[in-house]
Amino acid sequence: QRLESLISKGGDKRAHMIQFSATPIPRTQAMMDSALLDVSLITTTPFEKNITTQTISKPDFPALLAHIKAEIAQEHQVLIIYPLVEESSEVPYQSLEESRGFWESKFEDVYVTHGKDRDKEEVLLEFREKGNILLATTVVEVGISLPKLTLIVIVGAERLGLATLHQLRGRVGRNGLKSWCYLYSNAPANERLVQFSQTTNGFDIAKLDLKFRNSGDILDGTIQSGQKFRWLDMAEDEAVVAAAQRRVSSIVSQSS
């Protein structure tokens, strides 16, 4: 109804552009908070997801391995996301190609795909029907639905943005099954990951992203994050922003 109203409005109030986002970038979130954008929120989901998110590191690997075996024993599927396809001295984590031998030696029906894989769609379709473990890069952030997926491990999670982490986590639990998202990191106490693990709400995650990355230039638009006002923090000073909005609304109503 809200969308129909925006489209059907005439004159100067008719919308010229409509944006859709599950997790707005920091600048967009700041513009929403400061009322520079007219916003409608969809706060309901098709079904409630039950996903537990946890940061883990190397000492937790034996327990992770046991959990993976338990999920596969229940005919569920596991997704493991690697930061790179091939080894790099600049990244302190194993790559997909370095790790695949281990997983293939421990489990049957291990599938592998990545962005350069021309057969990616075919691999995903075959994994959906017959696979136990899928090793991949963030190429699976969106795409083919995998209804039996109940466990995802994101290696080097601190290297990814919160929106990407949220999209990847959203790959599990799509049929209502109890699911888990493990954020594997050499810095498990990373505050950004800790706070991310405490919510599955896309709006809250967008606000976290604003908090950690800052709003950028909300007027010019050339800088999407990384800068903030000298005397105002859009993520922390919500009460101040709300008071300013009320004051502006009062002035506008009095002058009209």
Beta-sheet strands, E only, within 104-178: 110-112, 133-136, 149-155
Beta-sheet strands, E only, within 74-209: 77-81, 110-112, 133-136, 149-155, 179-184
* DSSP line for 27-66: HHHHHHHTTSS--------SS---EEEEEE-GGGHHHHHH
Instruction: Tell me the CB-side half-sphere exposure of residue 92, using CA atoms within 13 A.
Output: 9
Distance set, CA 86 to CA 83, 99, 116 (Å): 9, 10, 12
Distance from the first to the final alpha carbon of the chain: 27
pLDDT, tens digit, 9 for 90 and up, residues 183-206: 999 988 899 999 999 998 888 888
Contact 51, 179 (CB under 8 A): yes
Q: 224 pLDDT exceeds 60?
A: no
| Superfamily of chain region 51-199 | P-loop containing nucleotide triphosphate hydrolases (3.40.50.300)
Contact 173, 50 (CB under 8 A): yes
Range of 5-9, 78-82, 86-90 with top mean pLDDT: 78-82
- Whole-number pLDDT of residue 218: 64
The stretch 89-101 carries a mean pLDDT of 90
- pLDDT band at residue 232 using 50, 70 and 90 as cut-offs: low
- pLDDT band at residue 117 using 50, 70 and 90 as cut-offs: confident
pLDDT, tens digit, 9 for 90 and up, residues 18-30: 777 766 666 666 6
Q: 2 pLDDT exceeds 90?
A: no
pLDDT, tens digit, 9 for 90 and up, residues 123-163: 999 999 999 999 999 887 667 789 999 999 999 999 998 88
The stretch 75-89 carries a mean pLDDT of 91
Phi, then psi, of 183 in degrees rounded to 5: -95, 95
pTM for the whole structure: 0.78
Average of per-residue pLDDT values in the chain: 83
Q: Which amino acid is at 177?
A: L
57-79 exposure pattern, b = at least 16 Cβ within 10 A, e = fewer: eeeeeeebeebbeebbeeebbbb
pLDDT, tens digit, 9 for 90 and up, residues 158-182: 999 888 899 899 999 888 899 999 9
pLDDT, tens digit, 9 for 90 and up, residues 4-58: 666 666 556 666 677 777 666 666 666 666 666 677 777 777 667 899 999 999 9
Q: Which amino acid is at 114?
A: H
The stretch 230-251 carries a mean pLDDT of 73
Domain with CATH 3.40.50.300 in the chain: 51-199
